[in-house]
Amino acid sequence: MNDWHSDFVTAIKEELKDEKVEIEQEEYLSKEPLRIDVIIIKKEKDVKINKKIGQIFKRYNIIEYKSPDDYVSIDDYFKGLGYVYLYKSIMNAYDKTRKEVDDIKIDELTLTFVCSNLPKKLISFLVERKIRLDNSDNGVYYIDNEWIPVQIVVLSELENVEENYPLMVLSNNMHFRNAIEKVFSSINGAKEYDNKIRLIEAAFRIDPGIVSEVIKMYADRLSEEQMKYVINNLKEANFKIYTEEELKKSMEKGIENLVIRLLKKKFNDIPEKYIKLIEDADEKTLLQIADNIFEINKIEDIEKYIVS
């Protein structure tokens, strides 16, 4: 059986036998499988990405992410470039079922590094080698003179909360509190909460004190169902927001707001006298009113639940 690779190794060993070199055959480059953190593929080639972090994006966009306690090293930079070239040479195009030669073009690829803080050593290394950086937008550094577009997104430097709040909660960003508030304010319009909860859990690992304050602040803005969902999921993740007494008060406040909203929807306006009665009522009474909302025909009817 022919083994041209082994034949070549024998030949090169013989060729360089008098040189001070070590020759190894088929050395594995990694003990673990090489894995890209994220690949973003445009379904349509020419579609434009509006978000700042995606303005360099082409058809195939490789993302390498570093956690808050990690950084982008010089070797990480070259590894990222290597991933791009491997992806180009190994993977088939998005709209093809099998690999063909050069069906992913080099000008269809980009590379993005995402990290919490500016990788100063890497930037010094690049500058020394005449690779230019352009910080044309706060937190986004574009790298010129590479074969492909490369950018470094520094999460702690991002400033547009409306656009970047999901990323801002992953770092010690100066707008961290505003970003967390944006996560909570967006829950009301979300049919599924799982992604929001995941972001809140991540934010707890950055600054549990600030997140707890925001959760308490938003307790009376969320529905009872939403608040229970948030608290239960965070408790499962071992994040303690409330003492038992605070939790009880928070849930009563949520039910209280729910009852007032239901009554306002039914009667349009509620005299201050009855709002005060509701605010002073205990959880059991509030639940009775909510359960019997369809039997309450006039606002005065709530007195029989509160008085009894």
**pLDDT of amino acid 191:** 59
The pLDDT of 193-210, averaged and rounded, is 82
Higher pLDDT, 4 or 155: 155
pLDDT of 65-118, one tens digit each?
A: 999 989 999 999 999 999 999 999 988 888 777 888 888 899 999 999 999 999
**pLDDT of amino acid 217:** 77
**pLDDT of amino acid 9:** 79
Counting residues of the chain whose pLDDT is more than 70, the rounded percentage is 82
Which pair of structure tokens corresponds to residue 174?
A: 């100066």
**pLDDT of amino acid 221:** 64
What CA–CA distance (Å, rounded) separates 242 from 213?
Answer: 10
With bands split at pLDDT 50, 70 and 90, how would you rate the model's confidence at 266? Answer: confident
In terms of average pLDDT, the best of 93-102, 113-122, 126-135, 272-281 is: 113-122
**pLDDT of amino acid 307:** 61
The pLDDT of 208-215, averaged and rounded, is 80
The Cα-based distances of 277 to 249, 268, 285 in angstroms read: 16, 17, 11
Tokens 């980009």 sit on residue: 110
Length, in residues, of the chain: 308
Higher pLDDT, 119 or 99: 119
pLDDT of 50-79, one tens digit each?
A: 888 889 999 999 999 999 989 999 999 999
With bands split at pLDDT 50, 70 and 90, how would you rate the model's confidence at 187? Answer: confident
Q: Residue 157 pLDDT more than 70?
A: yes
Query: DSSP code of 171?
Result: T
CA angle 217, 223, 228 (to 5 degrees): 85
Q: Residue 167 pLDDT more than 60?
A: yes
Which amino acid would we find at residue 123?
I
Q: Residue 190 pLDDT more than 60?
A: no
Q: Residue 189 pLDDT more than 70?
A: no
**pLDDT of amino acid 238:** 60
**pLDDT of amino acid 155:** 93
Q: Residue 121 pLDDT more than 90?
A: yes
Lowest mean pLDDT among 117-121, 137-141, 228-232, 276-280: 228-232
What CA–CA distance (Å, rounded) separates 122 from 34?
Answer: 22
The pLDDT of 255-272, averaged and rounded, is 78
233, burial (CB in 10 Å: exposed 0-12, middle 13-18, buried 19+): middle
